[in-house]
């Protein structure tokens, strides 16, 4: 299947027709809701928070933030940014609770330093890799985005960006831009090596050890420059992590052993251990 990112710029791709189709599809609504819940689990917010939703679209991700129950630390308040006026029009029609801006995240996030407790982005930031005109490059736009996102978060704040990298090069271009901006960064994959793989970039604005905040999280492979050097550029695979389990399973299967089928819960710890 061809990627929409390769066909048109986002504001043209998400026109009135496509935005309506996207927003009313129950299949898409379910997928976006699942991923937003996953992102919230990774953010682990303890109290009603002020959240930036990057590429908020028609509010499918944002409305999940508004609906978090009091006993689960919610409900949260969100501000969304999106470049497609048609997507935002859908959000208005659906009467979402968040505030929204028509804005291009590649031009930066125009909020005071330390504004947000957290940020999420669901299925949006891969679009930043598709900009090629004389005055803008994907690298320049990624830098502008991550630098300003970093500044807009409070100290100890976190961001979780689920995205669809086209290939390994795009994935590392995005991750590296985040690290260069100062974030502690980790990557988590749900259903790795399947067609429905989901990649989450987990970012923290930390003092001290920048990787500390993400290394305690379930299944998150931490990017640490020192470790990376030792492992010669390979991602760090923690024993017991999902990547590790999947590799072991592969080895066992290859030896003809019976292996439990993998699911999205493979390698996840029970909720209480989180």
Partner 1 sequence: MKLLTLNFLTCARKACKTSAASFPLHPREAELEQVELDMNPQFIRNVLPRVEWEAMRSISQELGLPSLPDTAPGPEELADAEGGPTQILKDLHTLLMETTIASGKLLCANCGHEYAIKEGIANFLLPSHLV
Ligand X SMILES: C[S@@+](CC[C@H](N)C(=O)[O-])C[C@H]1O[C@@H](n2cnc3c(N)ncnc32)[C@H](O)[C@@H]1O
Query: HSE on the CB side for 239, CA within 13 Å?
Result: 0
| Residue 165 binds to ligand X (criterion: CB under 6 A) | no
Pairing of strands 153-163, 198-204: antiparallel
Closer CB to ligand X, 11 or 237, in the complex = 11
* Contact stretch for ligand X (CB under 6 A) within 101-109, 165-173, 180-188, 229-237: 101-109
Return the one option of partner 1, ligand X, none that residue 127 interacts with (CB less than 5 to 8 A, by type): ligand X
| Residue 122 binds to ligand X (criterion: CB under 6 A) | yes
Q: Which of 166, 164, 159, 156 is nearest to 145 (CA)?
A: 159
CA-atom Rg of the chain in angstroms: 19
Closer CB to ligand X, 60 or 203, in the complex = 60
Site string for partner 1, 96-125 (x = CB under 8 A): -x-xxxxxx--xx-xxx-xx-x--------
Supply 228's token pair. Answer: 């990376």
| Residue 10 binds to partner 1 (criterion: CB under 8 A) | no
Return the one option of ligand X, partner 1, none that residue 84 interacts with (CB less than 5 to 8 A, by type): ligand X
Distant-in-sequence, close-in-space partners of 263: CB < 8 Å, separation ≥ 6 = none
Residues 68 and 74: beta-carbon distance below 8 Å: yes
| Residue 14 binds to ligand X (criterion: CB under 6 A) | yes
Distant-in-sequence, close-in-space partners of 106: CB < 8 Å, separation ≥ 6 = 128, 131, 136, 141, 142, 144, 145
| Residue 56 binds to ligand X (criterion: CB under 6 A) | yes
Site string for partner 1, 241-270 (x = CB under 8 A): ------------------------------
| Spatial distance between the Cα atoms of 161 and 142, rounded to a whole number of angstroms | 13
Instruction: State which of positions 143-172 bind partner 1 (CB under 8 A).
Output: 154
Supply 102's token pair. Answer: 């028509």
Residues 15 and 58: beta-carbon distance below 8 Å: no
Site residues (vs partner 1, CB under 8 A): 47-50, 70, 75-77, 79, 81, 83, 88, 92, 97, 99-104, 107-108, 110-112, 114-115, 117, 135-136, 154
Site residues (vs ligand X, CB under 6 A): 10, 14, 32, 55-57, 60-61, 81-84, 87, 104-106, 122-124, 127-128
């Amino acid at each position: 299947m061809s990627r929409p990112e390769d066909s048109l710029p986002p504001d043209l791709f998400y026109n009135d027709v496509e935005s309506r189709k996207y927003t009313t599809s129950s299949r898409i609504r379910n997928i976006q809701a699942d991923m937003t819940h996953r992102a919230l689990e990774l953010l682990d917010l303890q109290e009603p928070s002020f959240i930036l939703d990057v590429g908020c679209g028609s509010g499918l991700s944002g409305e999940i933030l508004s609906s978090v129950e009091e006993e689960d630390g919610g409900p949260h308040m969100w501000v969304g940014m999106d470049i497609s006026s048609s997507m935002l029009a859908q959000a208005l029609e659906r009467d979402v609770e968040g505030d929204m801006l028509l804005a291009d995240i590649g031009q930066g996030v125009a909020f005071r330093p330390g504004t947000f407790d957290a940020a999420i982005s669901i299925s949006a930031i891969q679009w930043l890799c598709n900009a090629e005109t004389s005055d803008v490059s994907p690298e320049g736009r990624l830098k502008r985005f991550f630098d300003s996102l970093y500044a807009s978060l409070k100290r100890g704040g976190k961001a979780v960006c689920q995205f669809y990298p086209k290939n390994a090069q795009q994935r590392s271009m995005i991750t590296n831009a985040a690290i260069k901006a100062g974030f502690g960064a980790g990557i988590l994959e749900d259903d790795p090596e399947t067609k429905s793989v989901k990649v989450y970039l987990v970012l923290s604005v930390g003092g001290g050890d920048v990787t500390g905040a993400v290394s305690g999280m379930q299944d998150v492979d931490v990017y640490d420059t020192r470790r990376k050097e030792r492992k010669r550029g390979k991602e760090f695979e923690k024993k017991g992590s999902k990547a590790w389990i999947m590799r072991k399973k592969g080895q066992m299967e290859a030896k003809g052993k019976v292996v439990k089928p993998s699911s999205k819960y493979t390698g996840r710890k029970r909720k209480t251990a989180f």
